[in-house]
């Protein structure tokens, strides 16, 4: 099969075509640049829909696999260009290709300087992100993982806020610190198991070695997610990044970490996953509650949403390490949900920032009277982020809590239902800070005169929010197709985990 035109190669590398075209467009023709970038990312989305059509939901293994020899020297190097998807990574690729055109479209008027470089970095970032989700070779995975740092660093550092350079270098160094430990683990695996290919390695990692390897991989992923207490780069990066950068950072980049946990920590090191599950659950629950409590007093609304990400992804971690079907499926769905809801929240913050050039909650108030459509859409997104039944957040949180509760029983990975109990507290706290944010921004009288003449959403802003809202409602009301897609692969993972837990006993 021709690797060059295989579906996964096209979905991953199509944005590079856009970059090449952009290199030849003169800097002054900003609108041409913007349209080229948007069209490229929309075509990538359509290609990912083709990928969806080619996917067989009943097959639990890796599909659309391409494998071509890359660095094969003698018997010591066996690195292949190896890609494939299963249910979970399919959903994440769709999330990436769905959010990127929306993020690019939302930067239409927000970015006026050096538009060409901006779009080029955005498209390169998309290549890196999709590449991470589809790589089945550890070396290739690492290449895409590290590569995705570079465009994000530039996006924050050049088009960001006041303190952007500090935030950019902090983001870069913090994330790279975890990755280098993962590099050592990958090298060890490649040398001692004899291959760098994920599928070849499954089940072959000796249990004794799994502990340290688990920690090394977890270091990289925990910083990315971010798991408390490794989260301090996140508020800075989010606040200083340009709006579209925050959307992609929260929407997709954080999922690289949770995906890494799912694919590698759970997949390659099942025994170690079982051993470390309670420890991770503790960190997850602390993250849920800490993120929520710290969100509440934030004065900057973007920082509020950033801390809420820590809280939401704590739920995802709790679900993943429940090591049962509901927990993991709920976690994967919540990854998608968080991408949509928090992405939408950042878009919303960006919209008010473009009008008022401030993000301080104290500066707002009574906005619903001035911008009713904006208020309505924000309310829906807020409720979704909170986990109101009928919207997407509830489905994911419910499944996760179900899984965590189940893991608290006999034979479960947590051994105590306290984790689920404390996590449920997080649901209440989410309602507190989300509704408090909404109240301070939209309800009450218009105190600040600067808010009086604000224009409601224009057609472009509505266009970026509506697709997100459609999917939010879809997942909230009819999540079955999403679960259907990931069930077989998650089931396969869960069986492997249960086999490992039996072996441990």
Confirm or reject binding of residue 171 to other proteins (CB under 8 A).
no
Residue 83 pairs in a beta bridge with 66, 135
Radius of gyration of the chain (CA): 22
Q: How many helices (H) and strands (E) does the chain have?
A: 22, 2
Q: How far is the CB of 147 from other proteins (least distance, A)?
A: 5
Question: Dihedral through CA 472, CA 357, CA 151, CA 334, nearest 10?
Answer: -20
Confirm or reject binding of residue 181 to other proteins (CB under 8 A).
yes
At a CB cut-off of 8 Å and minimum separation 6, what does 316 contact? 225, 258, 331, 334, 335, 338, 400
Piece of 187-195, 199-207, 390-398, 435-443 that binds other proteins (CB under 8 A): 187-195
Q: How far is the CB of 149 from other proteins (least distance, A)?
A: 7
Instruction: Out of 1, 3, 165, 499, point to the residue binding other proteins (CB under 8 A).
Output: 165
Pattern 58-77, other proteins, x by CB under 8 A: ------------xxxxx-xx
Q: How far is the CB of 264 from other proteins (least distance, A)?
A: 18
At a CB cut-off of 8 Å and minimum separation 6, what does 320 contact? 258, 261, 262, 266, 327, 328, 331
Confirm or reject binding of residue 188 to other proteins (CB under 8 A).
yes
Take residue 210 and report the two structure tokens written for it: 């799994």
At a CB cut-off of 8 Å and minimum separation 6, what does 291 contact? 228, 231, 307, 308, 309, 310, 311, 312, 314
Instruction: Out of 14, 133, 142, 261, point to the residue binding other proteins (CB under 8 A).
Output: 142
Instruction: Out of 169, 202, 425, 477, point to the residue binding other proteins (CB under 8 A).
Output: 169
Helix (H, G, I), strand (E, B) or coil at 78: strand
Instruction: Out of 6, 42, 65, 176, point to the residue binding other proteins (CB under 8 A).
Output: 176
Q: How far is the CB of 197 from other proteins (least distance, A)?
A: 16
Nearest-5° angle of CA 181, CA 251, CA 44? 100
Helix (H, G, I), strand (E, B) or coil at 365: coil
Piece of 12-20, 181-189, 272-280, 452-460 that binds other proteins (CB under 8 A): 181-189
Q: Which of residues 98-127 bind other proteins (CB under 8 A)?
A: 114, 117
Closer to other proteins by Cβ: residue 30 or 338:
30
Rounded to whole angstroms, the Cα distance separating 302 from 288 reads 18
Pattern 290-319, other proteins, x by CB under 8 A: ------------------------------
Q: How far is the CB of 423 from other proteins (least distance, A)?
A: 34
Closer to other proteins by Cβ: residue 158 or 282:
158
Piece of 99-107, 184-192, 316-324, 467-475 that binds other proteins (CB under 8 A): 184-192
366: left (phi over 0), alpha (psi -120 to 50) or beta: left
Piece of 56-64, 151-159, 330-338, 491-499 that binds other proteins (CB under 8 A): 151-159
Closer to other proteins by Cβ: residue 219 or 485:
219
Closer to other proteins by Cβ: residue 144 or 307:
144
Closer to other proteins by Cβ: residue 188 or 473:
188
Closer to other proteins by Cβ: residue 167 or 351:
167
3-state secondary structure 94-145: HHHHHHHHHHHHHCCCCCCCCHHHHHHHHHHHHHHHHHHHHECEHHHHHHHH
Piece of 147-155, 230-238, 262-270, 468-476 that binds other proteins (CB under 8 A): 147-155
Count Cβ atoms below 10 Å from residue 252 Cβ, excluding itself.
30
Confirm or reject binding of residue 158 to other proteins (CB under 8 A).
yes
At a CB cut-off of 8 Å and minimum separation 6, what does 405 contact? 417, 420
Long-range contacts of 444-449 (CB under 8 A, 24+ apart): 444/365, 444/366, 445/365, 445/366, 446/365, 446/366, 446/367, 446/369, 446/370, 447/365, 447/366, 448/363, 448/364, 448/365
Confirm or reject binding of residue 183 to other proteins (CB under 8 A).
yes
Instruction: Out of 143, 293, 379, 446, point to the residue binding other proteins (CB under 8 A).
Output: 143
Contact by Cβ (8 Å): 116, 158 = no
Q: How far is the CB of 165 from other proteins (least distance, A)?
A: 6
Q: Which of residues 226-255 bind other proteins (CB under 8 A)?
A: none
Rounded to whole angstroms, the Cα distance separating 192 from 310 reads 36
Positions that interact with other proteins (CB under 8 A): 70-74, 76-77, 114, 117, 139, 142-144, 146-147, 149-150, 153-154, 157-158, 164-165, 168-169, 172-173, 176-177, 180-181, 183-184, 187-188, 190-191
């Amino acid at each position: 099969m021709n690797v060059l035109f295989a579906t996964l190669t096209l979905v991953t590398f199509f944005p590079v075509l856009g970059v090449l075209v952009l290199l030849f467009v003169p800097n002054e023709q900003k609108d041409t640049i913007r349209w080229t970038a948007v069209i490229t990312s929309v075509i990538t989305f359509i290609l990912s829909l083709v990928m969806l059509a080619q996917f067989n939901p009943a097959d639990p293994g890796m599909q659309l696999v391409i494998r071509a020899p890359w660095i094969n020297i003698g018997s010591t190097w066996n690195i292949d260009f190896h890609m494939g998807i299963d249910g979970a990574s399919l959903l994440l690729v769709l999330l990436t290709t769905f959010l990127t055109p929306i993020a690019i479209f939302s930067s239409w008027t927000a970015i006026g300087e050096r538009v060409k470089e901006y779009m080029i970095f955005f498209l390169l970032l998309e290549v890196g992100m999709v590449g991470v989700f589809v790589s089945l070779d550890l070396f290739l995975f690492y290449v895409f993982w590290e590569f995705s740092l570079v465009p994000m660093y530039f996006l924050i550092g050049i088009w960001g806020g006041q303190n952007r350079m500090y935030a950019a270098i902090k983001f870069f160094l913090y994330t790279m610190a975890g990755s280098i430990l993962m590099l050592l683990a990958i090298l060890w695996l490649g040398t001692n198991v004899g291959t760098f290919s994920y599928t070849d390695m499954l089940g072959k990692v000796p249990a004794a070695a799994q502990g340290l390897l688990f920690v090394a991989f977890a270091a990289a992923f925990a910083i990315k997610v971010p798991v408390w207490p490794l989260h301090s780069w996140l508020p800075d990066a989010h606040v200083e990044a340009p709006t579209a950068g925050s959307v992609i950072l929260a929407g997709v980049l954080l999922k690289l970490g949770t995906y890494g946990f799912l694919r590698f920590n759970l997949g390659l090191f099942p025994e170690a996953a079982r051993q470390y599950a309670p420890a991770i659950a503790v960190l997850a629950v602390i993250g849920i509650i800490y993120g929520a409590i710290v969100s509440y007093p934030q004065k900057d609304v973007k920082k509020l949403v950033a801390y809420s990400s820590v809280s939401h992804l704590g739920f995802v971690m709790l679900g993943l390490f429940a090591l049962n079907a509901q927990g993991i499926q709920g976690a994967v769905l919540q990854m998608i949900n968080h991408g949509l809801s928090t992405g939408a929240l950042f878009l919303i913050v960006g919209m008010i920032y473009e009008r008022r050039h401030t993000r301080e909650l104290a500066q707002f108030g009574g906005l619903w009277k001035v911008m009713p459509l904006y208020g309505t859409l924000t309310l829906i997104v807020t409720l979704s982020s909170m986990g109101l039944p009928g919207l997407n957040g509830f489905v994911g949180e419910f499944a996760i809590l179900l899984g965590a509760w189940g893991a608290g029983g006999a034979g479960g990975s947590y051994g105590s239902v306290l984790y689920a109990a404390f996590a449920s507290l997080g649901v209440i706290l989410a309602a507190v800070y989300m509704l408090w944010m909404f109240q301070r921004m939209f309800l009450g009288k218009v105190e600040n005169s600067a808010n009086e003449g604000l224009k409601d959403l224009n057609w472009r802003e509505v266009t970026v929010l509506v697709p997100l809202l459609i999917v939010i409602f879809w997942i909230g009301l009819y999540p079955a197709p999403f679960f259907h897609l990931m069930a077989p692969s998650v089931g396969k993972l869960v069986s492997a985990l249960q086999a490992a837990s039996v072996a441990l006993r």
